[in-house]
């Protein structure tokens, strides 16, 4: 599918909600599968990546239903999955494969995890190495999927492990596995990664002490996880595209209601505010242990910004969209200390630079980031590269100059209602 948005001649205005948060949705389904009893989760998003987790759980013997945004799932408990020996297809979803790996390890389930060609390119030694330290028998395919887990005797070895990359997927995998260890494990991470795993598991009866850099996981040791009765907040990583859209079109004012504003995810709001957009949060509250708010963005002229350090970790999925905001800002935006972007759905540093350059922008790649000079993007045709976030970000350029994005159907992996949501803001 080729996607071409109309150049906006009037401001974007309005208030809307976005689908439920994908990071929380993956965790809710997986932890519900590990709980005793039936979980009911509202505002559950239906997209390629959330189907991947539900499909993989079904192959392992834990089916779920999703009707009118309500997920219902009867848990198997924290014990080996019913379909031992199965191969679970994790589609394009790295969160699915890495978190499920932790669950197979912790419950001692023998099964194989596989996925799409794109997923088979992503690094898995970052989880396989520490899992082996915990005594898990896991084989990768040259450090990638397919990954075969063999039955491990109950009671993994507790570890004290420093995760070398600021990755929530790796930390979460290890935290889940550690629920099945014979004593407490301790993990450290080099940056403030999203902490949804600890928050959600603790709300279900686990004991994970997490201060953002260090987490200590007590084994469940026979304690059952309680089922979930929850409603997911809107996904800030989907809202991000609408915020950037509003920031690009002079005079815009857009509110996204009920969006998750967990501090580990709100880097996008901080960066857009630093660039000059006005961001106002109202109706702030806690839902299922997660901060939620209505967030309004009022457009003002954008200025270049420098992004590095913790702000990179807190905006890790938002760089394709931020690069587009930078392309329409005054000055040269520089992003550094962001090498992890090379290990996403695609090498996002290479993809951002190549595609913005194809649209005429002045861009530079660094080993650990990129720079974009605002005001240089002219328009033309760009490619999504099999990356849902790149597809939506490149399409946003079309609000300012004529742009066509090839391969844009990949956006269905994460935000199938992107186009109708955006066009509902046209005035």
Which residues form the catalytic set? 317
Minimum gap (Å) between residue 366 Cβ and ligand S3P: 19
| Residues 78 and 107 sit within 8 Å (Cβ to Cβ) | yes
CA distances for 31 relative to 38, 111, 133, 202, 282, angstroms: 11, 18, 23, 11, 30
Minimum gap (Å) between residue 402 Cβ and ligand S3P: 30
Q: Which helix (H) or strand (E) holds 282?
A: strand 278-287
Q: Minimal CA–CA distance to 57: which of 93, 85, 83, 92?
A: 83
Nearer to ligand S3P, 50 or 95 (CB): 95
Residue 139: other Cβ atoms inside 10 A: 12
Residue 114, C-beta contacts closer than 8 angstroms, at least 6 positions apart: 87, 88, 89, 90, 120, 145, 146, 147
Number of helices (H), then strands (E), belonging to the chain: the values are 13, 22
Query: b vs e for 5-29, b when ≥16 Cβ sit within 10 Å of the residue's Cβ?
Result: beebeebbebebbbbbbbbbbbbbb
Minimum gap (Å) between residue 286 Cβ and ligand S3P: 20
Q: Which helix (H) or strand (E) holds 198?
A: helix 196-203
Minimum gap (Å) between residue 174 Cβ and ligand S3P: 12
Contacts within 8 Å (CB) and 24+ apart, 280-289: 283/257, 287/230, 287/231, 287/233, 288/24, 288/200, 288/203, 288/228, 288/230, 288/231, 288/232, 288/233, 289/199, 289/200, 289/202, 289/203
Nearer to ligand S3P, 26 or 54 (CB): 26
Nearer to ligand S3P, 383 or 389 (CB): 389
Nearer to ligand S3P, 290 or 317 (CB): 317
Minimum gap (Å) between residue 378 Cβ and ligand S3P: 30
Q: Which helix (H) or strand (E) holds 66?
A: strand 64-67
Minimum gap (Å) between residue 343 Cβ and ligand S3P: 7
Nearer to ligand S3P, 173 or 245 (CB): 173
Residue 346: other Cβ atoms inside 10 A: 20
Q: List residues near ligand S3P by CB under 6 A.
A: 23, 26, 95, 167-169, 172, 194, 316-317, 340
């Amino acid at each position: 599918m080729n996607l071409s948005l109309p150049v906006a001649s009037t401001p974007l205005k309005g208030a809307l909600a976005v689908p439920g948060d994908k990071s929380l949705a993956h965790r809710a389904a997986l932890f519900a599968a590990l709980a005793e009893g039936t979980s009911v989760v509202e505002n559950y998003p239906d997209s390629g990546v959330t189907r991947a987790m539900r499909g993989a759980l079904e192959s392992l013997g834990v089916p779920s239903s999703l009707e009118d945004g309500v997920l219902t799932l009867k848990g198997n408990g924290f014990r080996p999955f019913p379909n031992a020996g199965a191969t679970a297809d994790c589609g394009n979803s790295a969160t699915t494969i890495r978190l499920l790996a932790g669950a197979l390890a912790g419950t001692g389930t023998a099964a194989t995890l596989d996925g799409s060609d794109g997923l088979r390119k992503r690094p898995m030694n970052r989880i396989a190495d520490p899992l082996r330290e915990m005594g898990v028998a896991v084989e990768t395919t040259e450090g990638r999927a397919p990954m075969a887990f063999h039955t491990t005797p109950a009671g993994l070895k507790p570890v004290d492990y420093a995760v070398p990359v600021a990755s929530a997927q790796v930390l979460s995998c290890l935290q889940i596995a550690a629920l099945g260890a014979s004593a407490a494990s301790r993990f450290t991470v080099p940056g403030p990664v999203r902490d949804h795993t600890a928050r959600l598991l603790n709300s279900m009866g686990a004991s994970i002490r997490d201060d953002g850099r260090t987490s200590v996981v007590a084994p469940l040791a026979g304690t059952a996880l309680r089922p979930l009765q929850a409603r997911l907040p809107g996904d800030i990583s989907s809202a991000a595209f609408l915020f950037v859209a509003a920031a690009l079109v002079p005079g815009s004012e857009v509110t996204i209601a009920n969006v998750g504003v967990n501090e580990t995810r709100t880097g996008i709001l901080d960066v857009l505010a630093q660039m000059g957009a006005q961001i106002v949060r109202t109706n702030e509250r806690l839902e299922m242990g997660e901060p939620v708010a209505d967030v309004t963005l009022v457009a003002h002229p954008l200025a270049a910004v420098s992004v590095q350090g913790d702000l990179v970790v807190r905006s890790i999925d938002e760089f394709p969209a931020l690069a587009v905001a930078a392309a329409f800002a005054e000055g040269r935006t520089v992003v550094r200390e962001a090498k992890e972007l090379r290990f996403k759905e695609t090498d996002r540093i290479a993809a951002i630079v190549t595609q913005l350059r194809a649209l005429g922008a002045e861009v530079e790649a660094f080993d650990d980031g990129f720079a974009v000079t605002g005001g240089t993007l002219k328009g033309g045709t760009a490619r999504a590269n099999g990356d849902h976030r790149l597809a939506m970000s490149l399409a946003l350029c079309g609000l300012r100059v004529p742009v066509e994005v090839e391969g844009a159907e990949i956006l269905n992996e994460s935000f199938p209602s992107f186009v109708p949501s955006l066009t509902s803001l046209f005035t």
